A = this chain, B = another copy of it.
Amino acid sequence: MPQDSRASTPTGSPELFRQGMRRLAGACTIITSVAPGQGREGWAGMTATAVASVTADPAQLLVCINRSTWAHSVISQSRVLGVNVLGAEGLQLAQRFAGGVPPEEKFTQGEWLTATSGAPLLASALASFDCLVCESIEASTHDIFICDVLGVLLREPGGDPLIYFDGAFLADRPAN
């Protein structure tokens, strides 16, 4: 993993950056994990949009997660995570996992399966990825987790994605 020296100190304002990033539409996902040696009682999860494909062969993806979150703490310990890509009907789950309910109640809605890694995967997701973290990269407030994909669950084709754009879920919006 080559690392270059820093080319500059950024001069952009954090607030302007946030405003710009609100215009980068993101697929809503629920990132899950499980505390080491625990079952359902050790599940953790959060809504996130900062997920990207890295390479297909070997299958790898990355997720950026704020270090102040509970899910980050669990992933750091267990080194496993699930990425669940929500369809439009997943709006309530997205709100729930974004902090709408206490942590211990998050998984009481939806059908959750235990994957090979131990992470919970959502049966109704458009697609789910069962992952092992292979690298973590510190970046200020966040960690970038680069993950090997152990397995993929695909729902049957069809269904619209749930998208977050400009501070709102697009499923909330009237069609044009």
Contacts and interface: CB of A to CB of B under 8 A. Distances in A.
Interface of A: 1-4, 6-14, 16-21, 23-27, 29, 49-62, 64, 79, 85, 126-130, 132-142, 144, 146, 148-154, 157, 160-161, 163, 165-166, 175-176
Contact of A52 (B7, B51, B135, B153): B51
Contacts of A14: 56-59
Number of copies: 2
Contact of A17 (B16, B56, B134): B56
A138 B21 contact: no
Given A7-B148, A52-B62, A58-B10, A25 B24 contact: no
B134 A6 contact: yes
Most buried by B among A1, A17, A140, A144: A17
